[in-house]
Chain A
Amino acid sequence: MNTFVQMLLTALLAVSTENILFAGGIGFSRVLRAGRRPKMLGMYSAFVTVFTLISMAAAYFLSPLLAGSQMLIVLRPALLAFCSAAAYLIAAFVLKTFSAQFYRKYGQILAPAAMNTVVLSMPYVLKSLKLALPDALGFALGTGAAFFLAALVFSHTPEICRNPDMPKAFSGLPAVLIYVGILSMAFAGFTGGKLF
């Protein structure tokens, strides 16, 4: 029971006050792109969750190998990216071979999801936060949910930010960036300052 509560707490932290997407400003380029494909958001977030869990597990098992290194700050992120690339290649190969139809439909979001995982896991991997498996599962679920919510919010922004009443120069991306800035300001109110 205690483990389950711990898992839920980690998930809640990842979605709410420690939301690295809104308060930390991490991974926005890909969230904005994911928001343009609202029909694929669910699967995209599921991929992010699975890849995050794999990355956290890999980081947990591989980080002791680097423990004595002088270049830890450089080696750890490189290792995480390498693990994520390997996870992507295995997943793509398996899906391509055994479920070609599924791969044809969702293959295009597989690579961005894997890359996003590196982005979203980096803060914790760099801080050497060795999450136990239940915590890692909670973190992965929370990250997937946070990603889904953020992309859902941004799936409606293109239309809002092309309002003909606003000055032409601000229409589109400039308005989106200001909108993101205001949202991020609200989350900064919860965290009270810098996350990392």
Chain B
Amino acid sequence: MTNKKTLLRETGTIFFNGAFFKNPVLIGALGLYPIVAGGYNLRNAVELSLLFLFLTLPLTLLLCLVGEMVPLWIRPGLVLTASAVLYLPAAWLTEKLLPGSVTALGMFAALMICNSMILSRANDYAPTHIGWAVAADALGCSIGFAAVICLSAAIREFWLKGSLWHTNMGVYGTADAGVSLPFFGFLLLGFFAAFVQWVNEKRSKKAGRRRVPRI
């Protein structure tokens, strides 16, 4: 019973770390390209998030199963090959859920094969951890990625066109077309990363206060 509780708590911690407190995009600067270049409207953001999930989960679980059997120097090659192969069903599934998405995304979708966040999770994390932890980490990272890209895309689309998911929200977009360019994505990410850093600092201060013994 205690073991089950501990496992559940640790799985939860891994999940929330990936999703927010140690978000690989905002803490590790991983997988930036789809967010800054492809995530300029909400539809793109949701499509890329789905593709990310469908690629990350099977890839990391596969590497969790076979990763430790493979010599270290072969592993990056195996991860890249597995990512290329698993991209085909992931793209098919995304296309089934949102018809026309992969074609419309073009290079933004294709570059998911070598997304640094996906490859680092599969190459470094998955082979040395148990299945539960790997699944929680993959799901947490997918949620974290989706949260960042969807928030950034919503801000950019709303500011540029006054719409969300290509539906007008009854206001006029006031921004210049530059909002949809990569540089604006980087600027937004900078502010998001600062927010997460601020929250983490508050948390560590609070935890520090809790650890001070009472006299």
13 pairs, A vs B, C-beta closer than 8 Å: A25-B36, A32-B29, A74-B91, A78-B87, A119-B114, A123-B107, A167-B194, A170-B197, A171-B197, A176-B29, A181-B183, A181-B190, A184-B182
A24 within 8 A of B: yes
Chain A residues positioned under 8 Å from B116 (CB to CB)? 29-30, 115
* Complex Cα–Cα for A28 and B85 (A): 24
* Complex Cα–Cα for A185 and B201 (A): 30
A114 within 8 A of B: yes
Partner among A25, A114, A174 whose Cβ is within 8 Å of the Cβ of B190 = A174
Beyond contacts A29-B32, A184-B182: 9 other A-B pairs, Cβ-Cβ < 8 A, are A81-B83, A96-B73, A122-B110, A174-B190, A176-B190, A181-B187, A182-B187, A184-B181, A193-B181
Chain B residues positioned under 8 Å from A187 (CB to CB)? 183
Determine whether the beta carbon of B194 is less than 8 Å from that of A29. Answer: no
Q: Contact residues of A with B, CB < 8 Å?
A: 23-30, 32, 71, 73-79, 81-82, 84-86, 88-89, 92, 96, 107, 111, 114-115, 118-119, 122-123, 126, 167-178, 180-185, 187-188, 193-194, 196
B31 within 8 A of A: yes
* Complex Cα–Cα for A80 and B193 (A): 33
Chain B contact residues, majority secondary structure = helix
Q: In this complex, what residue of A is CB-closest to B117?
A: A29
Determine whether the beta carbon of A25 is less than 8 Å from that of B33. Answer: yes
Determine whether the beta carbon of B193 is less than 8 Å from that of A174. Answer: yes
Determine whether the beta carbon of A28 is less than 8 Å from that of B32. Answer: yes
Chain B residues positioned under 8 Å from A169 (CB to CB)? 194-195, 197-198, 201
Chain B residues positioned under 8 Å from A32 (CB to CB)? 29
Q: Contact residues of B with A, CB < 8 Å?
A: 26-27, 29-33, 36-37, 73-74, 76-78, 80-81, 83-85, 87-88, 91-92, 102-103, 106-107, 110-111, 113-114, 116-117, 119, 177-178, 180-187, 189-191, 193-195, 197-198, 201
Knowing A180-B186, A184-B183, A188-B181 touch, does A26 contact B33 (C-beta < 8 A)? Answer: yes
Determine whether the beta carbon of B182 is less than 8 Å from that of A78. Answer: no
Knowing A28-B33, A173-B29 touch, does A89 contact B74 (C-beta < 8 A)? Answer: yes
Determine whether the beta carbon of A88 is less than 8 Å from that of B29. Answer: no
* Complex Cα–Cα for A44 and B163 (A): 43
Chain A residues positioned under 8 Å from B36 (CB to CB)? 25, 28
Knowing A27-B33, A32-B29 touch, does A77 contact B193 (C-beta < 8 A)? Answer: no
CB distance from A62 to the nearest CB of B (A): 13
* Complex Cα–Cα for A126 and B198 (A): 40
Knowing A25-B182, A30-B116 touch, does A88 contact B84 (C-beta < 8 A)? Answer: no
* Complex Cα–Cα for A187 and B212 (A): 50
CB distance from A37 to the nearest CB of B (A): 15
CB distance from A97 to the nearest CB of B (A): 11
Determine whether the beta carbon of A77 is less than 8 Å from that of B110. Answer: yes
